[in-house]
């Protein structure tokens, strides 16, 4: 793990990748970094940003600029948050708690994953402003029980992931045996012990402090252990969930309700009709359907059809210019995942804090160079190739 006083070596979010790759066992690195099949969607997320250009104006007084952004009823210090990511605490020690601490200190949103290895209640005790992301099927009694637990914990923004009716074909994950629960084998054991930074500072430290990690937030009760020879496999099939189930949940849930995984303006219209508070345009970081389009190309049409909803964005954010491009196209807010995961692997709390500062400083620099003082009138600064 990189010492906090050496973080000056990290000059951009992508610099964290090499450190994380060195620390993590291969199975965990590929679980976190690889997409599905041929990685076409994952890679295209970056190409979409690369093919979108900015047009600056000069001699504008930008000395009073601000990167604060309001969504729903809160003004955040920056226009980005931390995406939900499962099994983060297997990669970095108490990663979910570090995300919660940093997001509170930096005043940005953090979405807890339904596949987190830390109970939502423990995270809420650190940061009461967190959101929660859930994977649900069409069993309304289980949906209701989970949503009751979420609300009782003090969380009032619920994000339902809707782009996983069946699991994506993550070939690297399957080859490495990284499924829930993982079945110990010679390859995984060798992989673990040959990465001592991770083995001692994350895995063994976790086992000694709190025992074998479990999927903590998948339902109303504690789920399966992350590593087991005998526990049943977690069921991933959610192929009967539909808009009627979402409408039922909307009528039942009194907090803010958002869906994540939207790639069609037509679905944005349907979400608005159901009465949702927002949608997250996302292709799951290229981890579900390979050759699925980049959500960047859907922002403008979605913004036209959003009604009173918020249009949020996720997938491929690596630079401050990426954030500004998404906002200029019509997104109200953005989220990033992998860069923050790799930052917590690299240097824990200090790594995540540094990552937030890097991205915020790049956004501030970008709007200054564009001739803008805030993030609310960026549309005229966007140019498509």
Task: Give pLDDT, residue 379.
Answer: 83
Q: What percent of the chain has pLDDT over 70?
A: 94
Task: Give pLDDT, residue 385.
Answer: 60
- Residue 160 — pLDDT band, cuts 50, 70, 90? very high
Active-site residue, from 195, 214, 236, 284: 284
Query: Does 3.40.1390.20 match the CATH number of domain 4-172+233-384?
Result: no
324's tokens: 């500004």
Query: What is the helix, strand, coil percentage profile of the chain, to 5?
Result: 45, 15, 40
Q: How many C-beta atoms lie closer than 10 Å to residue 378's C-beta?
A: 20
80's tokens: 């980005």
Task: Give pLDDT, residue 231.
Answer: 54
156's tokens: 């009032």
Instruction: Parse the chain into domains and list their residue ranges.
Output: 4-172+233-384
Edge-to-edge strands of the sheet including 157-161? 80-82, 333-336, 310-314, 278-281, 256-262, 157-161, 131-134, 111-112
Q: What percent of the chain has pLDDT over 90?
A: 74
Query: Can you tell me the distance from the alpha carbon of 187 to that of 184, in angstroms, rounded to the nearest whole number?
Result: 8
* 156 in catalytic set: no
Read off the pLDDT of residues 86-131 as tens digits, 9 standing for 90 and up.
999 999 999 999 999 999 999 999 999 999 999 999 999 999 999 9
Strand partners, 258: 159, 278
Task: Give pLDDT, residue 336.
Answer: 98
Query: E strands of 242-351, at which residues?
Result: 256-262, 278-281, 310-314, 333-336
In degrees rounded to 5, what are phi and psi of residue 209?
Answer: -90, -35
Read off the pLDDT of residues 266-304 as tens digits, 9 standing for 90 and up.
999 999 999 999 999 999 988 889 999 999 999 999 999
The DSSP 8-state label assigned to residue 305 in this structure reads T
Tell whether the model's pLDDT for residue 335 goes beyond 60.
yes
Handedness of CA 288, 274, 78, 368 (dihedral sign): positive
Query: Can you tell me the distance from the alpha carbon of 227 to that of 182, in angstroms, rounded to the nearest whole number?
Result: 5
The DSSP 8-state label assigned to residue 225 in this structure reads B
* Span of 64-68, 331-335, 355-359, 377-381 with lowest mean pLDDT: 377-381
State the average pLDDT over residues 334-357: 98
Read off the pLDDT of residues 231-278 as tens digits, 9 standing for 90 and up.
566 556 788 899 999 999 999 999 999 999 999 999 999 999 999 999
- 344: which residues sit within 8 A by CB, 6+ positions away? 88, 91, 92, 95, 98, 99, 351, 352
Query: Can you tell me the distance from the alpha carbon of 53 to that of 49, in angstroms, rounded to the nearest whole number?
Result: 8
- Residue 173 — pLDDT band, cuts 50, 70, 90? confident
283's tokens: 């292709």
Tell whether the model's pLDDT for residue 384 goes beyond 70.
no
Task: Give pLDDT, residue 229.
Answer: 57
């Amino acid at each position: 793990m990189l010492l906090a006083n050496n973080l000056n070596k990290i000059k951009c979010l992508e610099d964290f990748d090499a450190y994380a790759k060195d620390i993590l066992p291969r199975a965990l690195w590929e679980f976190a970094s690889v997409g599905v099949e041929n990685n076409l969607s994952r890679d295209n997320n970056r190409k979409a940003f690369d093919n979108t250009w900015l047009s600056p104006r000069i001699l504008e007084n930008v000395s009073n600029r601000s990167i604060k952004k309001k969504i729903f009823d809160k003004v955040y210090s920056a226009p980005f948050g931390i995406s939900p990511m499962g099994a983060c605490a297997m990669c970095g020690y108490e990663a979910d708690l570090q995300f919660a601490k940093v997001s509170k200190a930096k005043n940005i949103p953090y979405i807890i994953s339904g596949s987190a290895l830390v109970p939502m209640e423990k995270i809420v005790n650190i940061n009461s402003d967190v959101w929660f992301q859930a994977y649900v099927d069409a069993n309304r009694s289980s949906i209701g029980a989970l949503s009751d637990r979420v609300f009782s914990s003090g969380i009032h923004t619920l994000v339902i992931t809707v782009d996983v009716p069946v699991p994506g074909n993550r070939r690297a994950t399957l080859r490495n045996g990284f499924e829930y629960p993982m079945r110990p084998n010679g390859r995984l054991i060798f992989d673990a012990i040959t990465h001592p930074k991770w083995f001692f500072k994350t895995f063994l430290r976790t086992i000694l402090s709190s025992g074998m990690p479990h999927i903590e937030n998948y339902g109303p009760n504690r789920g399966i252990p992350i590593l087991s020879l005998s526990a049943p496999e977690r069921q991933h099939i959610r192929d009967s969930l539909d808009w009627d189930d979402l409408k039922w949940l909307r009528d039942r849930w009194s907090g803010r309700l958002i869906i994540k995984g939207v790639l069609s303006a037509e679905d944005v219209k349907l979400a608005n009709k159901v009465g949702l508070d927002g949608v997250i345009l996302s292709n799951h970081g290229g981890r579900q359907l390979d050759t699925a389009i980049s959500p960047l190309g859907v922002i403008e049409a979605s913004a036209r059809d959003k009604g009173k909803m918020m249009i949020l964005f996720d997938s491929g954010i690596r630079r401050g210019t990426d954030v500004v491009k998404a906002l200029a196209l019509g997104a109200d807010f953005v989220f990033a995942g992998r860069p923050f995961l790799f930052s917590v692997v690299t240097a824990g709390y200090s790594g995540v804090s540094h990552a937030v500062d890097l991205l915020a400083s790049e956004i501030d620099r970008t709007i200054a160079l564009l001739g803008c003082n805030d993030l609310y009138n960026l549309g005229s600064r966007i140019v498509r190739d």
